[in-house]
Amino acid sequence: MDSPIAALLERKGSAVHAVASTITIAEAVAEMNKNRIGCVVVLEGGRIAGIFTERDVLRRVVGEGIEPKSARVADVMTRNVHTIHSSATIEETMTIFAEKRCRHLPVIDEGRVKGLISIGDISRWVADSSRAEADHLKNYIAGGLHA
Ligand code: AMP
């Protein structure tokens, strides 16, 4: 839990799926489906201008009756994007997910995009770490019994 996000990114990779804010919602959704991801980062002039997630499709598009083939992703994205530094710990990141009520966080170090962490990535990391720790303890105990 006190491992840095950088360690998770080393395992996961640094790919961040980004789209231009001028594309339609339908095009953004196609991009998400093609890559089997739950969000895209939205760029304006090469900079992060927003984030668009499957929750937005549900609430702001379907829920509001917006036409995805004509409306632009810029019209429904969230503009105030929360980000984390790669030195943030797994535990700190979990707290941000809970406090900000979101499931995706771009990782930015000194203005550079280093990756994107989802709440699913954190769950997998925690599950893997618990399993590794349990295996380690089992081996330790078994070793002690055989000594
Ligand atoms: P999510 O739970 O990540 O699907 O997103 C829930 C809501 O929070 C949606 O309106 C997203 O646009 C927004 N959201 C998701 N991630 C972020 C983020 N890193 N910063 C700001 N808003 C976000």
How far apart (Å, rounded) are the C-alpha atoms in residues 96 and 29?
Answer: 26
Neighbours of 132 (CB within 10 A): 10
Tell me how far the alpha carbon of residue 58 lies from the centroid of ligand 1, in angstroms: 12
Query: What confidence tier does 131 reach under pLDDT thresholds 50, 70, 90?
Result: confident
Domains of the chain as residue ranges with CATH: 5-146 (3.10.580.10)
pLDDT in tens, 18-77: 999 999 999 999 999 999 999 999 999 989 999 999 999 999 999 999 999 999 999 999
Q: Is this model's pTM higher than 0.85 or not?
A: yes
Q: Is the CB of 118 under 6 A from ligand 1?
A: no
Say yes or no: CB of residue 25 within 6 Å of ligand 1: no
Residue 122 has pLDDT above 70, yes or no: yes
Task: Give me the pLDDT at residue 138, please.
Answer: 86
Could you tell me if residue 84 is left (phi over 0), alpha (psi between -120 and 50 degrees) or otherwise beta?
Answer: beta
- Evaluate: CB of 53 within 6 angstroms of ligand 1: yes
Handedness of CA 139, 141, 146, 147 (dihedral sign): positive
